[in-house]
Structure 1
Amino acid sequence: MTTVRTLLGLPGLRRHPSTGEELLDRPVTRLYVTELPDPGRYLSAGELVLSGLLWWREPGDAEPFVAALAEAGAAALAASGADSGGIPDDLVAACGRHRVPLLEVPPDLSFAVVTERVVLALATAADGARKRLLTAAAEGTPVPGLLDRAAAELGTACWVLSAVPRVVAGTAPLPIDPAEPARRFATAHGRPTAAGGLSVLPVEGRHAVPWLLAVAGPLSGAHAELAEELAGLIGLARARTRHEPAAVTEGPVRAIALRTEGSDEAADVLSELLAPGPFAFARTDASEAFALVPGPVWPDGWAAAAAAALSTVEPLLRASRVVAGFADAMPAAEADGALEVARHALTLAAARPGPAVVVPADEVGVHQLLLAGASAELRGALRRRLLGPLLDYDAEQHSDLVRTVRVFLECSGSPTRAAKALHIHVNTLRYRIGRAAELLGADLGEFTTQVEVYLALTAQ
């Protein structure tokens, strides 16, 4: 990493006495030469600004110039006062106020020579940094190790983020919600972007769920090139990573089912959703993946968290939507049953609107699971046998007795609650239920009848 202190080792450049030692360790990414009185719009963070002070005319001119450098995050100002009789006092004072390191360029040293020396120093340092990263990658250094090396070269914190979203690795606590970089990246249509003071680049690879490299602060010059190199190396490290199946032969397990509609990305999405915890795929095909996860307890609100995660990543997928369902904890010996519960929860999720839907087991009724074991033909036959007269009456009279009976049963047979739910008078409700009972030849106030009729109503 090239710093202001590093450049002081070049022939000619020297530190102005007003600049404190604590300011000399700032990283330098490239050189920018200017004689504009306010160069702010053209500056980038980490630049060494070289100026002959041709813009300075009188005391007070230095303040906007130095303020622009400070706001842009310039590494330092290297100034020559050959035409102004030395470096002006107000420039020295402004650099002190804004904590911009001030270097002196001797009057007999041409800017061409300074430029050549600085550019060569930056190129040499960048080449060395790339070689060190390449060596680390070739040695099989995992992602956290690569980030540590890169952070030392760049002089700033780095993170690898999954678009699920989650923090894969980092050299410091992430200062923002990991979902924000993923959202910004989706809005930028996969191009490098910025989020919450971080520079965000795509990590190379052919995985369905992208990884992102985030670097604290803006990137420019040699640092931008090094970050791009790092993103490529992280992609290679990710490709070398293999998922190790979890042991699911004993203890409680949970089952997860996930579908990516219109694409073959289910396995990749489910892997990222469950990482970094242990899990084992039970079965996968082009658009569906089923996994078993060991452990009896999941965090409260996991279903909502999973839905939020899938909503974040969905815009970055080829799939038209993502749906998932999961089962309660069951003994490992009953894993097949857990997978069936997850499969049915997935079916319910697919029937609901939205780009990303998650249905937990507690939203799946027992009667729905029992009916799911019957074929569609058998369910249809049972529905016709129990509800035939009611279905025919509604079709002939354009009435809605089937819905009335269902609401009545879902309100535990309470005429008052059912009438309120249907927005009709309670006497009207009683008349309709009486008429339905006549058509069915059954007592809808009897518990066994209520169970049979409700199962028939929910059979499709």
Structure 2
Amino acid sequence: MTTVKTLLGLPGLRLRPLAGADLLDRPVTRIYVTELPDPGRYLSAGELVLSGLLWWRRPGDAEPFVAALARAGAAALAASGADSGGIPADVTDACERHRIPLLEVPTDLSFSVITEQVVLALAAASESARKRLQAAADAPVETLLERASAELGLPCWVLSGLGRVVAGTAPLPVAAADVIRRHAAKEAGSLTVVPVEGRHAVPWLIAVGGPLSTAQAELAEELAGLVGVTRARAATPEAELPGEARVVALRTEGSDESADVLRELLPDGVLLESTGDTSYATGHWPASAVTDLSTVEPLLRAPRILCGVGEPGEAREVAGYALAVAARRAGRVVVVPAAEVDPHRLLLAGAPEGLRAALRRRVLGPLLAYDAEQHTDLVHTVRVFLECSGSPTRAAKALHVHVNTLRYRIGRAGELLGADLTEFTDQLDVYLALRMEE
């Protein structure tokens, strides 16, 4: 990393510090030459600002100039006072006040020489930084981030597309989900974001705490490549997890991204099976799962993400049945915990679509045909009757009809169905057939 102190040691420049001697460890990322009285709009963090002070005419002129450097986060001011008999005290005082290192440039030294040597120093430092980072290629993600952060002089994080902080060198100043959303929407933010290389449905992102120079951006790209390699070679656990581990079934409709999404959703989990668009895994189900899936949804190719979640200790099939229930619900992201679904619905959800349709036709066919021909709604009457536990009084009240009318309709429906709707087994068959359409 090139610092202000590094520039003081460059041969032939003979720069001399006049202010901010305790700030010489500031990193320098680029050089900018200006004679504008207020260059604020053109500055960026980490710049060495080079000026011949042509803008200075009288005491007080230094304040807006140096204040602009401080606001932009400039690394230092290198100034020559050839036209004013030396650097004015006004400039030195402003640099001390705003904590900007001030370097005096010899009057016989061309700015082009300074620019050339600083650019070469930055290029050499950038190449050295890349080599040092590459030397840690086999290290864990945490080590890679620490090395990169030291080279960049900025905090770094690896974020999952699910809004999870995979690793970081400092507390993330904003919510990870907000960083992901801004990146997906291509909106600028306070952090610089670089995608991690690799063919994964749920991307990882490198976030760096500030704007980057060209050399810094190249180093961030190098970091992204190394993190991508580290992610690709990460081993998947081979043993199932004890305790509160659950089986999760996840489908990414119309895409083969399900396994990647599950690996990110359950980072400690074990992938059990994958057929591309549908995958099963066991792991610790996060409380933030629905929010996480909603966060990553804009980054995926799948138009819908469906998920069924079993209870600890339940068989894989239960999560699959909950997934089938989720598939029949509306929404871009649908998560159905098996515990929230009635057992008979889980059983029905596991039945193939063709079987469900055939059983519905077999049990309800005559009643459906009668309603269609006579423009009646006996199917609805039967449904309400069964949902009222076969109580004529409760059903009549719910349908706003007389109880005798209700009894007549149930009797007629029973004749059409060839069933006794007062018997439990017949009630069960009809009720399940009614549920087949859900």
Q: TM-score, normalised by structure 1?
A: 0.85
In structure 1, the residue matched to 2:411 is 438
Matched AA of 1:346:
L
**Residue 12 in structure 1 maps to residue 14 in structure 2:** yes
Matched AA of 1:361:
A
Change (3 A) 1:445 1:87: farther
Secondary structure, in 3 states, of the residue corresponding to 1:286? coil
Alpha-carbon contact 1:415-1:426 (below 8 Å) kept? no
1:14-163 residue pairs with structure 2 within 5 A? 14-16=16-18, 18-21=19-22, 23-137=23-137, 140-163=138-161
Alpha-carbon contact 1:13-1:105 (below 8 Å) kept? yes
Structure 2 unmatched ranges of 5 or more: none
**Residue 364 in structure 1 maps to residue 351 in structure 2:** no
Change (3 A) 1:6 1:251: closer
State how far apart, in whole Å, the 2-side matches of 1:323 and 1:112 are: 62
- Shifted more, 158-167 versus 67-76: the winner is 67-76
State how far apart, in whole Å, the 1-side matches of 2:209 and 2:309 are: 37
State how far apart, in whole Å, the 2-side matches of 1:427 and 1:243 are: 60
In structure 2, the residue matched to 1:270 is 262
Secondary structure, in 3 states, of the residue corresponding to 2:136? helix
Alpha-carbon contact 2:388-2:395 (below 8 Å) kept? yes
How far did residue 180 of structure 1 move?
1.4
How far did residue 127 of structure 1 move?
1.4
Q: Of the candidates 310, 321, 344, which is equivalent to residue 304 of structure 2?
A: 321
How far did residue 450 of structure 1 move?
4.8
Q: Of the candidates 274, 278, 281, which is equivalent to residue 271 of structure 2?
A: 281
Secondary structure, in 3 states, of the residue corresponding to 1:64? helix
CA RMSD after TM alignment: 2.7
In structure 1, the residue matched to 2:292 is 309
Secondary structure, in 3 states, of the residue corresponding to 1:26? coil
In structure 1, the residue matched to 2:401 is 428
Which string of whole-angstrom CA distances, capped at 9 and with x for unpartnered residues, describes residues 85-144 of structure 1? 32233323332332222221122222122112212221221111111111211xx11211
Secondary structure, in 3 states, of the residue corresponding to 1:107? coil
State how far apart, in whole Å, the 2-side matches of 1:33 and 1:151 are: 28
In structure 1, the residue matched to 2:318 is 341
How far did residue 145 of structure 1 move?
0.9
Q: Of the candidates 211, 214, 219, which is equivalent to residue 212 of structure 2?
A: 219
Alpha-carbon contact 2:76-2:100 (below 8 Å) kept? yes
Structure 1 unmatched ranges of 5 or more: none
Alpha-carbon contact 1:40-1:68 (below 8 Å) kept? yes
State how far apart, in whole Å, the 2-side matches of 1:38 and 1:415 are: 86
Secondary structure, in 3 states, of the residue corresponding to 1:136? coil
Which string of whole-angstrom CA distances, capped at 9 and with x for unpartnered residues, describes residues 428-447 of structure 1? 38577445312223776776
Change (3 A) 1:390 1:101: same
Which string of whole-angstrom CA distances, capped at 9 and with x for unpartnered residues, describes residues 388-424 of structure 1? 453233212334442354355446678999799xxxx
Q: Of the candidates 233, 245, 250, which is equivalent to residue 238 of structure 2?
A: 245
Alpha-carbon contact 2:253-2:302 (below 8 Å) kept? yes
Which string of whole-angstrom CA distances, capped at 9 and with x for unpartnered residues, describes residues 269-297 of structure 1? 1111111x1x222221121111123x7xx
**Residue 403 in structure 1 maps to residue 401 in structure 2:** no
Alpha-carbon contact 2:136-2:144 (below 8 Å) kept? yes
Which string of whole-angstrom CA distances, capped at 9 and with x for unpartnered residues, describes residues 202-244 of structure 1? 1111112111001111111322221122112212222222212
How far did residue 448 of structure 1 move?
5.9
Which string of whole-angstrom CA distances, capped at 9 and with x for unpartnered residues, describes residues 150-188 of structure 1? 111111211111101211111112222111121111112
**Residue 390 in structure 1 maps to residue 367 in structure 2:** yes
Q: TM-score, normalised by structure 2?
A: 0.89
